[in-house]
Amino acid sequence: MNDLVEKFDHPSWFTIGGTVAGYGLILVAMFVLLFVVPFLIFSAL
């Protein structure tokens, strides 16, 4: 188990994780703004 932790203990893995998390947050925000907000607006009318 310790070898596995040492294998992925490189700054590039943290960069990859941060990039994936950042893109995921952007995609969720865009989905909410483009689909959920208009749905709520039009369903309230």
Q: What is the rounded distance in angstroms from the CA atom of residue 18 to the CA atom of residue 14?
A: 6
User: Is residue 5, in this structure, part of any structural domain at all?
Assistant: no
User: Is residue 38, in this structure, part of any structural domain at all?
Assistant: yes
What's the one-letter identity of residue 41? Answer: I
What's the one-letter identity of residue 24? Answer: G
Domain extent, residue 26, equals: 11-44
User: Is residue 2, in this structure, part of any structural domain at all?
Assistant: no
What is the arithmetic mean of pLDDT over 12-40? 96
pLDDT tens-place string over residues 5-25: 787 788 998 999 999 999 999
Q: What is the pLDDT confidence band of residue 1, given thresholds at 50, 70 and 90?
A: low
User: Is residue 6, in this structure, part of any structural domain at all?
Assistant: no
- How many domains are there within the chain? 1
Q: What is the pTM of this model?
A: 0.72
Whether the predicted pLDDT of 28 surpasses 90: yes
